[in-house]
Structure 1
Amino acid sequence: MPRKNPRAGGRSVALLAAATSLALTLSGCSMSTVSPADVRGEPVEGAVQLEGPDCDELKCIALTFDSAPSEHTPELLEILREEEVPVTFFLLGRNHIDTYPELVQQMVDEGHELANHTWTHPRLTEIEPDEVREELERTQEAVAELTGITMTLMRPPQGRTNDEVGEISRELGLAQVLWSVTAKDYQTTDSELIRSRVLDGADEDGIILLHDLYDGTVPAVPGIIEELKAQHYTFVTVSQLFAPGVAEPGRVYR
């Protein structure tokens, strides 16, 4: 599947576009997952309490964007600013963070959450432990250098994880976040189809997976936000969805 950004590496493109539709099945094969509502029931003593909506009282949902930033991110940020919607960006390193560093800082300045999506987007279950650690550490370090933020969440590419990836994530202080609905926006440029797929799968405490680098995705976002607001959803970041609980490093959440 072709990618709009001409500066992106071919390996990243191929891996990102491959078989994501299988990820929810594959990712859960050896590790149990925890729901946002279960996290909220486990407040952590001494943890910093996030400001934001009470998702025990409200109908909350989290929009997330993988493999950001991209050439489409400025348009997306403008939409989110106008709609006053916070999201979680799972940042990719090569050809993304290093190409658009100013957009990473803008995300922070505008109230969005940053999370780790590795440096080159490999299947973490198919590389050596030292390579897994390097993929995550390099992205952690790049974001910390740019923004001063230490990210606490990661999303394994294609949702592929196992006990070894979980242990390395735990060592690095990263909880693993999957999703409850995907638009499969790598398959199509049809913005209406992307919108309908999200709306068909949306539910309370849901985590929506999108990618702003594909041509059809950002044009679908206003319609997604409008309809979900009409259904009385409140948009939050992933960490806000968990509050007052805090995701535990190494565990898998969906």
Structure 2
Amino acid sequence: MPLDRRTRRPRILIAGLTAVAAALAVALTLALTVTTYDHTSPRAARNRAEGKVAGNVDCRKTKCVALSFDGGPSPTTPGLLDILRQDGLHATFFAQGKGHIAKYPDILRRMAAEGHEIGDHTWTHPRLTDLDEAGARRELARTQDAIERITGERPVLMRPPEGRTNRKVAEVCRELGLAQVLWSVTAKDYETTDSALITRRVLDQTHRDGIILLHDLHKGTVPAVPGIIKALEQRGYTIVTVSQLLAPAKAQPGMVYRP
């Protein structure tokens, strides 16, 4: 026997409310997955800090952008170091262990000797979010140990492969004394050898207090760097390391820094 309208309406209303509740539960779950780690921007961290900045660049007053490279050292890295030395610049290098640090320790040693900042980019470049805590810890600690053994300095910055992080990764980083550094500019130089395209992509995305991500191991990247530097300086940017961008704030272990 068909239901009359008075019977159908409450059922429709209940079904609708149930669907809304389910949607809200999914949204809440996604939100918690994304935001259950501490994060801040370099500008916000810097503006909360007190004190003087060591060195001659104060990004509170200067239009700064940080330059960073992932995945080295590689055979192409010495050419990049020559370019940076010629321009009197320093960058942040997130070094990878297997096939890089292990294969080219002298290049890593040169990076440190020339004043560049060296961070941790894991040993084998896995998605840390796919590993358990022990696996993530091994990937990061092994790379930290290798960098310290070669350069004498233990890194305090890391960059998660593919930028993938979560609460578990943040907790492991906190235990190891590592702050996580994401980025605001990517040239996707792993998908092209066109140096002009790499340059254009960087310049189109760069803004004050941003962090540029490049990979010095890819064929088109190092040839693009002189043009990138020249164009950024013409636009009034001062190129700095990640730690200089944060100063006078200090990178906090476990914190995710994203512009």
> Which residue, 40, 49, 74 being the options, matches 2:46?
40
For residues 223-242 of structure 1, the aligned pairs below 5 Å read 223-242=227-246
Stretch of structure 1 that moved more, 100-109 or 32-41: 32-41
> Which residue, 26, 29, 33 being the options, matches 2:34?
29
- The 8 Å contact of residues 52 and 240 in structure 1, kept in 2 or not, is answered as no
Give the letter for the 2:224 counterpart. Answer: A
The whole-number CA distance in structure 1 between the counterparts of 2:247 and 2:84 is 22
For residues 64-213 of structure 1, the aligned pairs below 5 Å read 64-213=68-217
Give the letter for the 1:238 counterpart. Answer: V
Unmatched 5+ residue regions in structure 1?
Answer: 1-27
The whole-number CA distance in structure 2 between the counterparts of 1:42 and 1:236 is 20
Higher-Rg structure is 2
| Alpha-carbon shift at residue 44 of structure 1 (Å) | 6.8
- What do you get for the CA RMSD once the two structures are aligned? 1.7
User: Are 1:249 and 2:248 counterparts?
Assistant: no
| Alpha-carbon shift at residue 249 of structure 1 (Å) | 0.7
> Paired residues, what number?
226
| Alpha-carbon shift at residue 127 of structure 1 (Å) | 1.1
- 1:105-160 CA distances to partner (integer Å, 9 max, x unpaired)? 11111111000000000000001110100000000000111111011100000000
| Alpha-carbon shift at residue 50 of structure 1 (Å) | 3.8
The whole-number CA distance in structure 2 between the counterparts of 1:197 and 1:33 is 26
- 1:170-213 CA distances to partner (integer Å, 9 max, x unpaired)? 00000000001100001100000000000000010110000000
> Which residue, 216, 221, 232 being the options, matches 2:220?
216
- 1:205-225 CA distances to partner (integer Å, 9 max, x unpaired)? 110000000000000000000
* Shift in CA distance, 63/126, structure 1 to aligned 2, threshold 3 Å: same
The whole-number CA distance in structure 1 between the counterparts of 2:181 and 2:109 is 22
Unmatched 5+ residue regions in structure 2?
Answer: 1-32
Normalised TM-score (structure 1): 0.86
Identity %: 56
Partner of residue 26, structure 2: none
The whole-number CA distance in structure 1 between the counterparts of 2:209 and 2:245 is 7
Give the letter for the 1:35 counterpart. Answer: S
For residues 2-21 of structure 1, the aligned pairs below 5 Å read none
Determine helix, strand or coil for the equivalent of 1:41.
helix
